[in-house]
Amino acid sequence: MLEYEVALANILAQMPAAKPELIPVRHAHRRILAAPVLAPIPLPPFDNSSMDGYAVRAADTLPENSELRITGRVDTGKSPETSVEPGCCARIFTGAALPPGADAVIMQEDTRLDPEKPGSIRIVEGVKPWENVRFRGEDIAAGAPAGLHGVEISLGHLNLFAALGISQVSVARQPTLGILATGSELRESDENLSAGGIFESNRAGLTALFQAAGAVPQAFPLVKDTLADTQAALEAAFDQNDLVVTSGGVSVGELDFVKSAFQAMGGEMEFWKIAMRPGKPFVFGRWREKFLFGLPGNPVSAFVTALLLVRPALRRWQGAIATSLPPSCGILAETLDNPGTRRHFVRVTLDETEMVRPAGTQASHILSSLAAANGLVDVPPAGSLAAGSVVRVIRWE
Ligand code: AMP
Ligand code: MG
């Protein structure tokens, strides 16, 4: 059986190169950059004041209590019309361009207007050269990278791109993803639960998870456990999508048709079974330039394999450098034991005090503990993680 990391590396290595598309920056949050974004202008674009006050020659403000004549004024949004001569100053506002001759700005609060000498200020506290001046290009130089290829566009990037006057960015196209749920026992929520039936419960969470990872998921109608139904559903899903995820039908029973139906339509199996719990009977296959992720049907197994194997693939399909969730850590409140031979991804809650606790019963059909959990802790086979130790939590909520 494959180790999780080997399986994941195999999947990531097979993802095709990202396909770029140009979109408005205002729609680009969380999309993956398909090319570096270079600053077309320096930021700030010109030397300017960081305070409301007076543009001065710093040397004129020492010794303190000297007086300066106000000989000009620079409003924001205007270019300075006069230069600051020795013994003079210019009224200036936050963000206004530093006038020629000035090498500092003195805060308004560090000056006094003398009613007996209108048109002059008295210095209460002097300034050093370049104090309260924001330099052209100190934030980002013209031509410097404002966003790197393969990086997810953050809220901060949106501000930076806007400040640079960039209105469109090249991002990776989002993969379309067909989601199939197989199982003759499955019912839609508006159907009656006849004997032996259960409500289908995988597609909803998977759809939301894949959407959050940047894919465009499409849930298909339920698939009965026959070879013909499964093959027809797979063909329809592959026809309309870049990638296909199935749940159920990948075990060893006579009613498990996903592998045989996929092969019957010409798909190639890359691997089946990973040494992990939950999630062992996971299938990865290729059909032309498209890929099948066959998840086990048990709801927790489907969710965990989607999180740990499909989500990274969706990120890499979009060219993302970082394919795993950002790491979170916490302190184990109780020891986690794994007597089994496969590593166990245990459902846990990581709370606001950074304590990590098992979220409840861990069997792969138990949904109440999945609902209570916000993360997984990877417990090694035939091993344990001791209470009080710091552990990494794979956190999705
Ligand atoms: P399978 O992987 O098809 O053998 O299914 C394993 C278990 O998961 C069985 O108890 C199924 O009834 C259940 N199951 C499979 N698919 C779903 C689904 N989409 N929603 C809820 N339960 C499912
Ligand atoms: Mg089944």
CATH number 3.40.980.10 is the correct assignment for the domain at 4-16+173-317: yes
Q: How far is the CA of 132 from the centre of ligand 2 (A)?
A: 68
| Residue 186 Cβ contacting ligand 1 at under 6 Å | yes
Q: For residue 31, give every residue at least 6 positions away whose Cβ sits within 8 Å of its Cβ, in sequence order, or none.
A: 23, 152, 153, 169, 171, 172, 174, 214, 318
Q: CA–CA separation, 225 vs 101, rounded Å?
A: 82
Q: For residue 259, give every residue at least 6 positions away whose Cβ sits within 8 Å of its Cβ, in sequence order, or none.
A: 250, 269, 272, 283, 285, 294
| Residue 349 Cβ contacting ligand 1 at under 6 Å | no
Residues of the chain with CATH 2.170.190.11: 48-134
Q: How far is the CA of 225 from the centre of ligand 2 (A)?
A: 7
Give the pLDDT score at 66.
85
| Residue 246 Cβ contacting ligand 1 at under 6 Å | no
Q: Determine the residue of 198, 246, 283 to mutate for testing ligand 1's pocket, defined as the one with the most ligand atoms within 8 A of the Cβ atom.
A: 198
Q: Where are the alpha helices (DSSP H) in 226-343?
A: 227-240, 258-264, 299-305, 311-317
Atom 17 of ligand 1, residue of closest alpha carbon: 297
At the second CATH level, the architecture of 20-43+138-172 is: Alpha-Beta Complex (3.90)
| Residue 181 Cβ contacting ligand 1 at under 6 Å | yes
Query: 């259960």: which residue's tokens?
Result: 198
Q: What is the pTM of this model?
A: 0.95
Pairing assessment for the beta strands 243-247 and 290-295 based on DSSP bridges: parallel
| Residue 253: φ, ψ to 5° | -75, 165
Give the pLDDT score at 237.
98
pLDDT tens, position by position, for the chain (397 residues)?
Answer: 999 999 999 999 999 999 999 999 999 999 999 999 999 999 999 999 999 999 999 999 987 778 999 999 999 999 999 899 999 999 999 999 999 999 999 999 999 998 889 999 999 999 999 999 999 999 999 999 999 999 999 999 999 999 999 999 999 999 999 999 999 999 999 999 999 999 999 999 999 999 999 999 999 999 999 999 999 999 999 999 999 999 999 999 999 999 999 999 999 999 999 999 999 999 999 999 999 999 999 999 999 999 999 999 999 999 999 999 998 999 999 999 999 999 999 999 999 999 999 999 999 999 999 999 999 999 999 999 999 999 999 999 9
Give the pLDDT score at 282.
97
Give the pLDDT score at 174.
98
Residues of the chain with CATH 3.90.105.10: 20-43+138-172
| Residue 230 Cβ contacting ligand 1 at under 6 Å | no
Atom 16 of ligand 1, residue of closest alpha carbon: 297
CATH number 1.20.210.10 is the correct assignment for the domain at 48-134: no
CATH classification (class only), 327-395: mainly beta
Check: CB of residue 50 under 8 Å from CB of residue 127: no
Give the pLDDT score at 64.
74
Q: Which atom of ligand 1 is nearest to the CA of 247?
A: 16
| Residue 245 Cβ contacting ligand 1 at under 6 Å | no
Ligand number with the minimum distance to the CA of 203: 1
Question: Residue 141 in 3-state DSSP?
Answer: coil
Question: Residue 133 in 3-state DSSP?
Answer: strand
Nearest in space to 214 (alpha carbons), one of 30, 383, 366, 3: 30
Give the pLDDT score at 327.
85
DSSP 8-state secondary structure symbol assigned to residue 302: H
Q: What share of the chain is helix, strand, coil (3-state, %, to 5)?
A: 20, 30, 45
| DSSP H helix total and E strand total for the chain | 8, 28
Q: Which amino acid is at 247?
A: S
| Residue 249 Cβ contacting ligand 1 at under 6 Å | yes
| Residue 99 Cβ contacting ligand 1 at under 6 Å | no
Q: Which amino acid is at 397?
A: E
In a 13 Å sphere around the CA of 78, the CA atoms on its Cβ side amount to 12
Strand partners, 236: none
Atom 7 of ligand 1, residue of closest alpha carbon: 298
| Residue 128: φ, ψ to 5° | -90, 160
Q: Where are the beta strands (DSSP E) in 50-149?
A: 53-56, 67-74, 88-92, 104-107, 111-113, 120-123, 133-134, 145-147
| Residue 251 Cβ contacting ligand 1 at under 6 Å | yes
Distance of CA 171 to the CA centre of its chain: 14
Q: Is the peptide bond before 63 cis (omega within 30 degrees of 0)?
A: yes
